[in-house]
Homo-oligomer: A and B are copies of this chain.
Amino acid sequence: MSDAIADFYAVIPAGGVGSRLWPLSRAEAPKFLHDLTGSGHSLLRDTWDRLEPLAGHDRIAVVTGRAHRAAVEEQLPGVPDLNVFLESEPRDSTAAIGLAAAVLVRREPDVIIGSFAADHVIRGTRVFEFAVQQAVEVARQGLICTIGIQPTEPAVGFGYIKKGDELVVQGAPEAATVERFVEKPDLDTAKAYFADRSYLWNAGMFISRADVLLAEIQTNAPELHAGLIELAEAWDDRDRRGPAVDRIWPKLQKIAIDYTVAEPAAERGKLAVIPGHFDWDDVGDFASLAKLNSHGRKNELAILGENARVLTDAASGILVSNTDRIVSLIGVQDIVVVDTPDALLVTTSEHAQRVKGVVEALKLTGRGDVL
């Protein structure tokens, strides 16, 4: 695909620390700023590069914290200033995506926005592009459209989308309604979903006309909507933006877009889904990171870190090396070692989910400096 999709504007909410990836991911250097795939680029940059052919260079907005402004601009040199939306503090995904929608619809009434997290990994560019293209065609019809990932295994770490009846939309041969959303299942349920094929992973991708999205927010969170509209009116006036953010943003309801848009729209038959047949991962923990970087080779050690200096003997799992120290791993299987200047983590893939508990313990013991 070489031409951008008409009316399409990509929105990248770049928030979330990723505390299960501590001590790699930090409040000051969250997950999206890291290269987690060995691509040589941060996840944010990879996300941007994936969207540029679909939206065009000047039609990708990033919504992120003020604290990350410099890092984001370093990752995305040449990004137009008016496409960087800075939050004074995190207010969850409805506020982030809703702000972009409210500002963009004022600039361009027919705009169709597609939101894609800054810290997910996708492989299979053409298949991804075809899914987005279909989703935009669905959105043109006034529906809200998500892209649900066709599962490649019975995962228990993701929420699912139950696909319903097929929809007839020109240019979107795979479009279907969303019957319902389901929470992270247990393993038996996940196996049943996997066999069924009509359950897709919820990857949090939403494509919609901006006005349709805002109407949905207005219905389900009217105060939040009013705040976003007020903020958007001031946004493109340089003198008014800062004071408006300071006044309005901190009071906005913190609520995920799943509850203000996706689930209510699904209940009223207004949510469509396009199955995504590409490899996708939200890299939720180090087990996921290890798998992602193993490239299917078991019993090998994946190494992340440009300058990693490693000596291993019978080691498998993943080493993340963010220092210039010599690291030696001997006779450790499925190990997770994360070596950073001020913190070291040693665990295994099996226990990767427990990392979040350490982060919480560090908060409680006043060690926020390493979070």
Are B362 and A342 within 8 A (Cβ)? no
Are B325 and A343 within 8 A (Cβ)? yes
Is A240 interfacial (CB 8 A cutoff)?
A: no
Number of copies: 2
Are B330 and A351 within 8 A (Cβ)? yes
Residues in B neighbouring A244, C-beta threshold 8 A = none
In the complex, per-residue mask of A128-139: 1 if CB is within 8 Å of any chain B CB, else 0: 000000000000
Is A314 interfacial (CB 8 A cutoff)?
A: yes
A362 vs B327: C-alpha distance when bound (angstroms): 11
Task: Knowing A326-B343, A345-B330, A362-B326 are in contact, say whether A354-B313 is a contact too (CB < 8 A).
Answer: yes
A325 vs B340: C-alpha distance when bound (angstroms): 9
Are A311 and B358 within 8 A (Cβ)? yes
A332 vs B311: C-alpha distance when bound (angstroms): 20
A349 to B: closest C-beta gap in Å: 10
Residues in B neighbouring A350, C-beta threshold 8 A = 331
In the complex, per-residue mask of A156-169: 1 if CB is within 8 Å of any chain B CB, else 0: 00000000000000
Is A348 interfacial (CB 8 A cutoff)?
A: yes
Is A25 interfacial (CB 8 A cutoff)?
A: no
A146 to B: closest C-beta gap in Å: 34
Tally of contact residues, A, Cβ under 8 A: 33
In the complex, per-residue mask of A334-370: 1 if CB is within 8 Å of any chain B CB, else 0: 0101010111111110110011011001100001001
Are B328 and A358 within 8 A (Cβ)? yes
A256 vs B150: C-alpha distance when bound (angstroms): 68
Residues in B neighbouring A339, C-beta threshold 8 A = 344
Are A326 and B357 within 8 A (Cβ)? no
Is A23 interfacial (CB 8 A cutoff)?
A: yes
Is A329 interfacial (CB 8 A cutoff)?
A: yes
Are B358 and A342 within 8 A (Cβ)? no
A313 vs B327: C-alpha distance when bound (angstroms): 23
A26 to B: closest C-beta gap in Å: 12
Which residue of chain B has its CB nearest to the CB of A323? B344
Using CB atoms and an 8 Å cutoff, list the residues of chain A in contact with chain B.
Answer: 23, 311, 313-314, 325-332, 335, 337, 339, 341-348, 350-351, 354-355, 357-358, 361-362, 367, 370
Given contacts A311-B358, A311-B362, A339-B344, 10 further A-B contacts (CB under 8 A): A313-B351, A313-B358, A325-B342, A326-B367, A327-B344, A328-B355, A328-B358, A330-B348, A330-B355, A346-B346
